Every structure is written in C-alpha cells, then in structure tokens.
Amino acid sequence: MAKDSDPPDAEAVAMRLLARREHSRAELAAKLSRRGLGEVEIERVLDQLEEAGALSEARFVEQLVHARLRQGYGPHRIRRDLAARGVDPEAAEAELALDDAAWAGRAEAARTRHFGAPLPTRYEERARQARYLERRGYAAAHIARVLRGD
C-alpha cells in the first residue's frame, strides 16, 4: 500500500487538481499540504510541474484576470483576488495594464448591467451605485467619471 507522500501519489494529486482548473503555485502547495504531503515533496512536485509546463503562474494570472474582467470586476478587486491566491502583485500588472478610460468603460458596463442605462439623478441612488462599483473594485476616479456620464 502506497503512502500519501510517495512521489507518484503527490504528482497524481497535483495533476488531478490542475486538470480541473489553473492554480497558482501557492494555492496548489496549500492544497497538497492539506492532503498531508510534506513540504519538501510538495516543492519537488511543483518544480517538476513547472518544468513540464503543467503549472504556470503566468497562465493562472491571465486566466483569473480575464475571468474577473468578464465578471465586471475592477483592478482593485482583481489584485486582491490574486494576492489572496499567493500571486506576486508584479505578476498581475501586465494583465491589468489598461488605461483610465478603459477602466472607466468597464465600470460603466458593470453599472449599466446592474442598474440599467439611465444615470442616477438622486443623491441616494448615486451613492448606492458608487458603493456597488467600489465593492466591485473600481477606483474612486473611475466611479466619479461614470456617475458624471463622462
């Protein structure tokens, strides 16, 4: 009977996890650790997977950023999601390199999708929509631009 720390088992567990979706290195290490694998074994397996191209931090960042953009999230939220998964903040910057006009356009699309096309006229409604966009991760400058109708 094989132990959980045997190399074929560690690799098999990691490959099953990667077959479901992309993972960051830190995220995959945490999941393998929770399954009782040793730190040295985890590092060895992760290094092998990176060399083989099965584990890629850049591919994970690209996939997560594009998924969050499709969901209507802003740059602050995306950076926070990446940091929560153990990704180096600098790795995300290339994927998040949009200008202010592009981020404002994305914020407007998120606002319109949730609240409809007409801009709010009442202060309470403007504040409500601003809070919504803030929770989605947009900067105050983007939110103000959207709510002014720029």
The verdict on residue 38 lying in a domain is yes
Mean pLDDT of 10-17: 91
Report the pLDDT value the prediction gives residue 89, as an integer from 0 to 100: 80
Please enumerate in sequence order all residues whose Cβ is within 8 A of that of 80, keeping only pairs 6 or more positions apart, or say none.
137
Domain count for the chain, please give it: 3
The verdict on residue 49 lying in a domain is yes
The boundaries of the domain holding residue 129 are: 100-148
CA distance 142 to 85: 26
> Are residues 11 and 50 both part of a single domain?
yes
> Are residues 79 and 104 both part of a single domain?
no
Torsional class of 53: left (φ above 0), alpha (ψ -120 to 50), beta (otherwise): left
Report the pLDDT value the prediction gives residue 99, as an integer from 0 to 100: 83
The verdict on residue 77 lying in a domain is yes
Residue corresponding to tokens 């006009």: 101
Question: What count of other Cβ atoms lies within 10 Å of the Cβ of residue 98?
Answer: 13
> Are residues 68 and 42 both part of a single domain?
no
> Are residues 45 and 19 both part of a single domain?
yes
CA distance 88 to 61: 10
pLDDT tens digits for range 121-142: 999 999 999 999 999 999 999 9
> Are residues 46 and 16 both part of a single domain?
yes
Report whether 109 contacts 146 (CB < 8 A): no
Q: Is 84 exposed, middle or buried (0-12, 13-18, 19+ CB in 10 A)?
A: exposed
Average pLDDT, the chain: 89
Residue 25 to residues 1, 14, 38, 52, 81, Cα–Cα distance (Å): 29, 11, 15, 14, 15
pLDDT tens digits for range 20-49: 999 999 999 999 998 888 899 999 999 999
> Are residues 44 and 28 both part of a single domain?
yes
- The CATH number that applies at residue 11 is 1.10.10
